[in-house]
Every structure is written in structure tokens, then in C-alpha cells.
Amino acid sequence: MTADAVVIDLATDAKGTKLRGKAEPVKDVGIRADRADGIVIRKLTAAHAREHAIYVHEVDGYLLSRFKVFWNGEYGALMFTSDHGLATGCEGAGHGDSAVYPGAAPDTAEQTAEGQRRVNTVIQRCDIHHNTLGYSGTMGNGTRVVNNNFYDNGTAITTDSFYAGGHPGYPQDGAIFEGNRIYSNNFNSFTADSDVEPVVPVPVGVGIMIAGGNGNEIRGNRIWDNWRRGTMLFQVPDAISGSEGTNSTSHRNRYHDNVMGVDLQGQGSPNGVDFWWDGAPAQEDNCWFNNGEVTSDPPAPLLPGSCENTSSGLIYPTRAAELVGCAGAIETGSRDPEQCPWFATPPKPGSSSSARSAAPVGARRGGLSQAMAGSCRLVGTALGCSAFLDRP
């Protein structure tokens, strides 16, 4: 029996609706496992939930196997504060946030109290495409994402520390992204004619984005034809995340043994730039090595190859300009690419328009903390930024 044999279609008109397309939902969630002592969900398709097709919440021990999730409003598979999990052999498309989301995963990596580090969640052998985000994980700690295809998303993979306060697991740390094929993630769900309604603001045209994370490993992936950037790494300042720490995020991230800008046939298919780093002051021990011939911003001499370093912050002002413009746009709910270039489809590398660039409106004055001031507040016991309030 395959995933197509059992279908949970939550569309109002399930008989008259295509699985792979938009539909009006009749239910918020397809399957929910809440504080279960283990759960197995396999060989089924779930589509058109208002929120999530599969919701695994505070579960110790779960298997999601040979499943498909299509056109759910937020997440395909949401695994939240859950441990000992495996999601394997899946397909996910059409989500306003992401197809798979292991958020607030347990602290089993750098912050473990167990005596030794371990992976708590594995996502493997999945085909993830045509979502605003492919994979995402706020405080996605100790996860391993291996041997998947990510293509035709806005951003393929992101993990972040945008929340603090009562959100478990701050700061994000210890994810492993390896052996994935990450390509052609240039889908723009922010256009008026998009068949996916975005619920989270992200840059179009990016392979892997780490927005405030520590000790992550990006290794052995093949990343090509992402028109903005192959990878992005930037700090989320404590003043924005709400943490009471000091310089808490974006340390000890390692990018190595990846193949950049070359497709599976060995043909050149460049990213807009392979590696992008904001270089915020006092970031420690981020490094990029053994990735072959690559392009980077900042240029290679300023992109650390040694894993023992501290950022001087000298390159940060030009990167902060983009982040400030986008922070302001996100806070006001704007999706205007004139204010934040993230929401525009970037030109294909090598095209006549790919060399054009413009500083985002609002990036010409003030600092990043100033632009984000007042954007975060307590929601219950968790602190969140207004653009992300409904996001676990």
C-alpha cells in the first residue's frame, strides 16, 4: 500500500478539488497526536487543512513514514516539542509556511543536559517543493536533515532563533544538514497570482538560511541554481529576540564539503552567490572550508576558513542595510520589494539584470535594533515578533 491509498482531504468540496492545488478548508488540522506515548503515521496523504495536515505535539517517539502533504495553510507536518522522531519517505508541496517543521526540538545538542549530544529528529528521503519554505525550525535543535530533495521553494531550508521568552530551546543550535540536493528554490509565493498563500516572510531564491543559530553543520550538500544565495547566515541580536543573554546567536556554524553551483550532471548552474554572511560584530568560530571553487559575499579573504575566529564587524554595515530594510517591511506587514528585496524574484545569475542592485528603502538610516524596536512582545508566556505571532 502506498501513500495514495488512504487520503484525508479536508477541503470543503473534496470530490471537486485537486489534491495538488488550493482549496477552501473545512478543518483546522488533519491528524493530531498530543502528548502521546509514541505514534506511527504512515502510508497516507493529507491535504487542505486550514493549519496543519499532521500535528505531533509533545510526543516521545514518533514515526512518519511514506506520507504526502499538500496545500495545507501553514505546515504539512508540524512536530513541536517532540523527541525521538523520524520522518521518512515523504512529499510536501503547497504550504504557506513549510512542508516539515520540527520546532522547539529538545536540547540534545550544544545545550544538552544528558551528558552527550544526540540527534533527536531525523528527516530523510523526502521530496519537498513549491512551498514558501521547504523545511523550517524555530529552535530546531539537534535535528538531522539528510538525503532530501528541496526545489521550487521560496527558501529551501531555514532554522532560526526569532523567539525567546517562553519558547523552548533558545537559542537554536546543533542542526545537521547533509547530503541534500538543494536547487532552483526561486518560487515566489508573494506575487498576486501565486497558488500558495504565504504566512511567513522569507527571502525568495535561497538554499539554506540560518537566522540566529549556533553550532550547525552544513556538509556534503549539493546546492545550485538558487538565484539569490546558496546559503545565508546572520545574527539575531538579543535586543530583537528578547533574550537576556549577551550576543547569543550565530556562532560555531560550519559549512564544509558542499558542492556549490554545479548540477547533478556536472554542469555549471550558479547560485546568485554561494555563501552570504552578515559578519555582525563578535560572532565566533563560523567557518567555510573544503567547498571547492565558490563565490561569496563577503569575498573569500573575509570569509573565515579557520574555525577559530571572531568577527570584527567591519563588513556588517552593508549587510545591516538589507536586514534593516527587511525588518521594517516585515514589522509593518509590507511585502514591497522596493522596501525589502527579499520579496522580489531575483534575476537568474548571468542574465543582463543580475548585476543590478539597489539599497532597500529604509536602510539608509538607523540601526537594526532601532528598526526592530517595539516589534516583539509577550504572547502568553512566549515572546514573539508581531509578524510571527501565529507561528509556533
pLDDT of residue 392: 59
pLDDT (tens place) for every residue of the chain, 392 residues total: 788 889 999 999 988 888 999 999 999 999 999 999 899 999 999 999 999 999 999 999 999 999 999 999 999 999 999 999 999 999 999 999 999 999 999 999 999 999 999 999 999 999 999 999 999 999 999 999 999 999 999 999 999 997 665 678 999 999 999 999 999 999 999 999 999 999 999 999 999 999 999 999 999 999 999 999 999 999 988 777 767 778 899 999 999 999 999 999 999 999 999 999 999 999 999 999 999 999 999 998 899 999 999 999 999 998 988 998 888 888 788 899 989 999 999 999 987 666 444 333 333 223 333 333 344 333 333 334 444 445 55
pLDDT of residue 330: 81
As given in the structure block, the three cell numbers for residue 385 are 515578533
pLDDT of residue 333: 87
pLDDT of residue 165: 58
316-354 core/surface letters (b: 16 or more CB in 10 A; e: else): beebbbbbbbbbbbbbeebbebebbbbbbbbbbbeeeee
CA geometry: angle at 206 spanning 200 and 209, to 5°?
A: 70
* Distance (Å, whole) CA 79 – CA 274: 30
pLDDT of residue 251: 97
pLDDT of residue 378: 32
* Distance (Å, whole) CA 306 – CA 291: 13
| Adjacent-strand bridge partners of 129 | 151
> Sheet holding 206-211: strands in order across?
29-34, 52-57, 75-80, 98-101, 133-138, 155-160, 206-211, 229-234, 275-277, 296-297
pLDDT of residue 272: 98
* Distance (Å, whole) CA 209 – CA 227: 14
* Distance (Å, whole) CA 135 – CA 177: 11
Max Cα–Cα distance, the chain, nearest Å: 60
With CA atoms as reference, report the closest residue to 149 among 121, 122, 184, 120.
184
pLDDT of residue 375: 43
* Distance (Å, whole) CA 313 – CA 245: 19
Distance of CA 153 to CAs 190, 203, 322, Å?
12, 10, 21
CA geometry: angle at 70 spanning 69 and 75, to 5°?
A: 70
**Domain spans, the chain:** 1-74, 94-318
With CA atoms as reference, report the closest residue to 184 among 349, 295, 72, 358.
349
* Distance (Å, whole) CA 214 – CA 258: 19
pLDDT of residue 350: 85
As given in the structure block, the three cell numbers for residue 359 are 539599497
